A and B are shown apart, each in its own frame.
Chain A
Amino acid sequence: DIVMTQSPDSLAVSLGERATINCKSSQSILYSSNNNNYLAWYQQKPRQPPKLLIYWASTRESGVPDRFSGSGSGTDFTLTISSVQAEDVAVYYCQQYYGTSFTFGQGTKLEIK
């Protein structure tokens, strides 16, 4: 199974500052035939279900603010929030969908400093 490891486990960022969350897969999730990375990012606020932010590692879901961006390829990926807002306080998860079974990272908790 593909193991997804996020770092850090938590981070505190000042309002308006940049937040960077990393996600590393135990094997490449880049599918060579279509050159797509099989990775998604989710945001989960307290007492709510997860919300899809990004898929194909860098494609923003409709309605997601453009301060959220995804990058990376192969085994190393990053979610960046360019200017953190109060409403971004949440836990963020990466997920690989490379095979027939999916796995999530352990989550990164974002707080305001």
Chain B
Amino acid sequence: EVQVVESGGDLVQPGGSLRLSCAASGFTFSSTWMTWVRQAPGKGLEWVANIKQDGSEKYYLDSVKGRFTVSRDNAKNSLHLQMNSLRAEDTAVYYCSTFRGNGWLDSWGQGTLVTVSS
């Protein structure tokens, strides 16, 4: 069974940093593009970042470029999102998902909550 489990969400002050992780199992992680999507409280879905199977290609939402870095460790079947210079508007549940074909997202985790507040 395909499973992705996010962790690392926390309360952090504006300007702070946080590293999210996503543990993958039940599929060939090293052959799968991965994606981060976020959802602010009571709001819709917002794509954040994609990373290619070998990590050689990464794409970001404009508002997080230069602040967020997506990475992966194929030996450990894990995906990460390093978030720096956090802002109140980054407050959201962050989901990781598998990315199939040309970009549909077919297996989502339960999400991890990031709250940016003083």
Which residues of A are interface residues toward B (Cβ below 8 A)? 1, 36, 38, 40, 42, 44, 49-52, 55-56, 61, 91, 93, 95, 97, 100-107
Q: Provide the residues of chain B in CB contact with A93, threshold 8 Å.
A: 44-45
Q: Is the CB of B44 within 8 A of A61?
A: no
Q: Is the CB of A95 within 8 A of B44?
A: no
In the complex, A44 Cα to B103 Cα: how many Å? 18
Nearest CB in chain B: distance from A28 CB, A: 15
30 A-B pairs, CB-CB below 8 angstroms?
A36-B102, A38-B102, A40-B105, A42-B45, A42-B105, A44-B45, A49-B95, A49-B108, A49-B109, A50-B37, A50-B105, A50-B108, A51-B108, A52-B104, A52-B106, A55-B101, A55-B104, A91-B44, A93-B45, A95-B45, A95-B105, A97-B102, A97-B103, A102-B47, A102-B50, A104-B45, A105-B44, A106-B44, A107-B44, A107-B45
In the complex, A108 Cα to B67 Cα: how many Å? 31
User: Which listed residue, B47, B60, B62, touches A104 by the CB 8 Å rule?
Assistant: B47
Q: Between A and B, how many residue pairs show CB distances below 8 Å? A: 59
Q: Is the CB of A101 within 8 A of B45?
A: no
Q: Provide the residues of chain A in CB contact with B111, threshold 8 Å.
A: 49
User: Which listed residue, A42, A100, A104, touches B59 by the CB 8 Å rule?
Assistant: A100
In the complex, A103 Cα to B47 Cα: how many Å? 6
Q: Is the CB of A97 within 8 A of B104?
A: yes
Nearest CB in chain B: distance from A53 CB, A: 10
In the complex, A107 Cα to B40 Cα: how many Å? 13
Q: Mark B39-65, 1 if CB is under 8 A from A, else 0.
A: 000001111001000000001111000
Q: Is the CB of B45 within 8 A of A61?
A: no
B85 at the A interface (CB under 8 A): no
User: Which listed residue, B59, B62, B104, touches A95 by the CB 8 Å rule?
Assistant: B104
Q: Is the CB of B44 within 8 A of A104?
A: yes
Q: Is the CB of A61 within 8 A of B106?
A: yes
B13 at the A interface (CB under 8 A): no
